[in-house]
Structure 1
Amino acid sequence: MTVILRRLARPMLAGIFIYGGINAFKQAEGHAEAARPVLDKVGERSDKLPDAVPTDPVTLVKIDAGVKIAAGTLLALNKFPRLSSLALIGSLVPTTLAGHPFWEAKDPQEKQQQLIHLLKNAGLVGGLLIAAADTEGRPSVGWRTRHAAEKASKQAHKATGKAGKRAHKASKQIQSTAASARGALPV
């Protein structure tokens, strides 16, 4: 049952990101204009960024669109669902803050619309968090790591225990042989 839910839910969740990414890519200038107030605030600190990091708003919108299209497609196809969900969260949070600043709206109707969009995106982040945490019934990486470490520790202890017993036995034999040899020597 859960396998069927995953196969249905992931593409449904991914659809809005793929569509939004395609739309943003086609209309990058318009999206860059909407994001410009936030990007201008970030741009004030852009002198601290390496030269390889783009600061042009249109380029940033296209990169964000590419992330949404690629990660959304991977999520829809159930390929790297945890990683793609995290990438979509990383893309959605700044997009939401830039695109839906309800706290700055003066018109009550616009404020209401921006708040609705912000809450919708918060719900999408919630769905992506669930998708990112879903191990599909397999133990988590943390559990598998701890389990492997415990198993290795037990094997190492067992191996050193056997080696220690052999060394102790060999030591006893050497002592016994040495004592016999001492007793056989003329005084």
Structure 2
Amino acid sequence: MDVVVLIGRILFAALFIGSGINHLAQANAMTGYATSRGVPLAKVVVPVSGVWIIVGGLLVLLGIWADLGALLLLVHVVLSAALMHAFWQETDPQARQGEMVHFMKNTGLAGAALMAFALFAAVDDLGLTITGPLFTLN
């Protein structure tokens, strides 16, 4: 089971770490997009969210308080779904469909992050981690 969880951590974290790096490397483009979606203080929010998801991804990947990392990622995807992919506000059918797909993707990632949090917080010894959980769900 340890290796299976490790592979899952690698695959899950890679998405967020890559996205966080993109937030920083493409900050101007990401800020423009966030601004167009009505995100307040987008110039600050974009790099902060990039660092946020890199940290969350690294915590999950390395198994350092992976439960905390999963919570950080959960917060990000919930906020991103609500702020960036509000499909219900779209009037163009194609734009609505595209935003709905992104919203549902983020909803699914939120579910995965919540399950990861529960797994890491409930099971003390998943093995192949650097630390145990920060939170306890027993």
**Equivalent position of 2:26 in the other structure:** 27
TM-score when normalising by structure 1 = 0.61
* Cα drift, residue 29 of structure 1: 2.2
1:11 corresponds to = 10
Counterpart residue number, 1:127: 112
Q: Map of 1:45-64 to 2, 5 A cutoff?
A: 56-64=41-49
Structure 2 Cα separation of the partners of residues 117 and 60 of structure 1: 19
Post-superposition shift, 1:94? 1.5
Consecutive unaligned residues of structure 1, counting only runs of 5 or more, are 41-55, 144-187
The correspondence of residues 24-103 of structure 1 with structure 2, limited to 5 A, is: 24-36=23-35, 37-40=37-40, 56-103=41-88
1:115 — aligned with what?
A: 100
Inter-partner Cα distance in structure 2 for 1:142 and 1:124: 21
Partner of 1:39, secondary structure, is coil
Q: Is the 8 A contact 2:59 2:68 kept in 1?
A: no
SS at structure 1 position matched to 2:124 = coil
The whole-number CA distance in structure 2 between the counterparts of 1:116 and 1:80 is 31
Aligned residues with identical type, % of pairs: 28
Runs (5+) with no aligned partner, structure 2: 126-134
Matched, 1:137 2:132: no
Question: By how many angstroms is 1:136 displaced?
Answer: 6.0
Larger Rg, first or second structure (1 or 2): 1
Higher helix share: 1
Aligned length: 127
Which structure ranks higher in relative contact order (CA pairs < 8 Å, sequence separation ≥ 6)?
Answer: 2
8 Å contact from structure 2 (residues 87, 99) kept in 1: yes
TM-score (norm 2): 0.81
RMSD across aligned C-alpha pairs, in angstroms? 2.0
